[in-house]
Amino acid sequence: MPGYGFASVSKEEKKKWAELLEDYFINRYSLQMVFLLIDHRHEPQKKDIEMIQWLKELEIPFMIVLTKLDKVKKSERQKKLNLIRTELAKYGEYLYFPVSSKNGEGIGTLKNEINKFLK
């Protein structure tokens, strides 16, 4: 659910969404993996960390997909990745997949990982 932290709706509507999502994640027995999308340009936001903690609490496996790779200078990519890893290491060890939907960079690696998981 990209943009979950940025939706401009009422608190009541957000509460309904939260209940709907919780029900989906808890009762969707066929759900095998969640891909948490985090903007590669920024440190993880409070909502990203809350989602990580929530997924861990529910024992739902997840991978972190770092989006908008094309918007990060090549000289800054490793620095940004290290910053994100350092921040999220407080909450556990994760797989990170930097990708760009615009130019396709990293998509092959992500697809390979998905295929490995599904086999």
**Residue 3 predicted with pLDDT over 80:** no
pLDDT attached to residue 4:
59
Q: What CATH number did the domain enclosing 62 receive?
A: 3.40.50.300
Q: What is the pTM of this model?
A: 0.84
pLDDT number for residue 28 = 84
How many structural domains compose the chain?
Answer: 1
Residue 9 lies inside a defined structural domain of this protein = no
Instruction: Judge contact between 88 and 94, C-beta under 8 A.
Output: yes
Q: How many CB atoms lie within 10 A of CB 43?
A: 14
pLDDT, one tens digit per residue, over 39-83 is: 999 999 988 998 899 899 988 889 999 999 999 999 999 999 999
